[in-house]
Amino acid sequence: MGQAAWKGFVLSLFDYKTAKFVVAKSKKVGLLYRVLQLTILLYLLIWVFLIKKSYQDIDTSLQSAVVTKVKGVAYTNTTMLGERLWDVADFVIPSQGENVFFVVTNLIVTPNQRQGICAEREGIPDGECSEDTDCHAGESVVAGHGLKTGRCLRVGNSTRGTCEIFAWCPVETKSMPTDPLLKDAEGFTIFIKNFIRFPKFNFSKANVLETGNKHFLKTCHFSSTNLYCPIFRLGSIVRWAGADFQDIALKGGVIGIHIEWDCDLDKAASHCNPHYYFNRLDNKHTQSISSGYNFRFARYYRDPHGVEFRDLMKAYGIRFDVIVNGKGAFFCDLVLIYLIRKSEFYRDKKFEKV
């Protein structure tokens, strides 16, 4: 670059440039310009401010506690158990009431099991045999009930049998009732108390109506017009989840109880209300042997001679998962930054200068 060019470049650094505006006398261009301005303005007012409410500060760190309690009784009269009255101590697990709990609706009972020697149940591949060498002593039966003793037990002249095992005998029965044992569970009631707090705004609320009437919770039931009576009929929850009670009670299932707290805290606290919806969480369309929901538990006893025995229960029923979500929004950024006396102080703190 020559000397003259360098001199011209240096002098250009001291030039002052200003924008020049050309006013076009065109109605079409002017109309298009104003339409674009109006579109942007409407977008800001309607979408950003009115719908999305972007001027609000949002707290999604919802703190929640859930307390549940089931009430109801059921009567059964079966060959296996005889006459029996069932209350919450029998059919609710765990008994103290949490955000996940289980209500027994059907039961397969194998009574009076004792540890000893018996035949493995038919239909278990690893427990089937045709001779003693098929039952290796000391091995456990895969997906079975005990340890092999080394003997193959066959009935009559049959060429196939099952391995003899050391187990709780007799082994669990495979029979499945055609009707749920606790049909009356449909009328049980579930009390779900939910406390929530938005720590950012120090706002707390519960889904129970604060009233001086001590009999309110003993007589009310939840409905779309009675949101602050959290007492639900079990059969209604199942129906709202799109399931049939008798079907889910027979083989079991999982129901989600969702409580949503979407609160605009610019409004009065009375506008911050819980919203409920219910759905079935397990795959109800799967027709496999593992469909439904069940688990086993046992009750242990000792006979007059001190020998331990037990009643084995395979419990089918409904597991309820109470799921709480929510957010709180509050008109505070604009207040702090523009509308109060010390707005400049808060503005300097919020926007860092670099």
pLDDT at residue number 302? 95
Q: Which of 250, 270, 274 is nearest to 262 (CA)?
A: 274
* Residue range 13-44, pLDDT digits in tens: 776 666 666 666 767 767 777 788 788 777 76
How many Å from the N-terminal Cα to the C-terminal Cα in the chain? 37
Q: Say if residue 354's pLDDT is above 50.
A: no
C-alpha pair distances (Å), 155 with each of 66, 124, 174, 310? 56, 17, 19, 28
- Cβ atoms of 181 and 107 within 8 Å: the answer is yes
Q: Say if residue 50's pLDDT is above 60.
A: yes
Residues in contact with 221: Cβ distance below 8 Å, sequence separation at least 6, in sequence order: 189, 229, 231, 232, 233
Assigned architecture for domain 63-120+171-329:
Sandwich (2.60)
- Cβ atoms of 350 and 337 within 8 Å: the answer is yes
Residue whose pair of structure tokens reads 């158990």 in the numeric block: 81
Q: Say if residue 300's pLDDT is above 70.
A: yes
Q: Where are the beta strands (DSSP E) in the chain?
A: 57-59, 63-71, 74-78, 82-86, 92-93, 100-119, 128-129, 146-153, 161-169, 189-198, 203-206, 231-233, 253-264, 275-280, 294-302, 308-330
Taking residues 109-120, report their average pLDDT. 94
pLDDT at residue number 284? 66
Say how far apart CA 328 and CA 210 lie, in whole Å.
21
| Angle, CA of 332, 336 and 342, to the nearest 5° | 160
pTM of the complete model = 0.75
- Cβ atoms of 254 and 281 within 8 Å: the answer is yes
Q: Which of 291, 312, 88 is nearest to 185 (CA)?
A: 88
DSSP 339: I
**What does the block give as tokens for 266?**
């610019």
The overall average pLDDT reported for the chain is 83
* Residue range 146-195, pLDDT digits in tens: 999 999 999 888 899 999 999 999 999 877 778 898 988 999 999 999 99
Would you kindly state where each structural domain of the chain is located, as residue ranges?
25-54, 63-120+171-329
Residues in contact with 331: Cβ distance below 8 Å, sequence separation at least 6, in sequence order: 55, 56, 57, 266
Classify the phi-psi angles of 252: left when phi > 0, otherwise alpha if psi is within -120 to 50, otherwise beta: left
Partners of 276 in the β-ladder: 259
* Residue range 123-148, pLDDT digits in tens: 999 999 999 999 999 999 999 999 99
Half-sphere exposure of residue 125: CA atoms within 13 angstroms, side-chain side: 0
Share of the chain above pLDDT 90, in %: 44
φ, ψ for residue 10, nearest 5 deg: -65, -45
Q: Say if residue 262's pLDDT is above 50.
A: yes
Binding-site sequence positions for ATP: 69-71, 189, 294-296, 314
C-alpha pair distances (Å), 72 with each of 99, 220, 235, 278, 350? 19, 16, 12, 21, 56
Taking residues 314-326, report their average pLDDT. 94
Binding-site sequence positions: 69-71, 189, 294-296, 314
Say how far apart CA 2 and CA 108 lie, in whole Å.
101
Q: Say if residue 210's pLDDT is above 60.
A: yes
Q: Which residues of 141-168 are buried (b: 16+ CB within 10 A; e: fewer)?
A: beebbbbbbebbbeeeeeeebbbbbbbb
Q: Which of 278, 209, 295 is nearest to 237 (CA)?
A: 278
**What does the block give as tokens for 350?**
């919020």
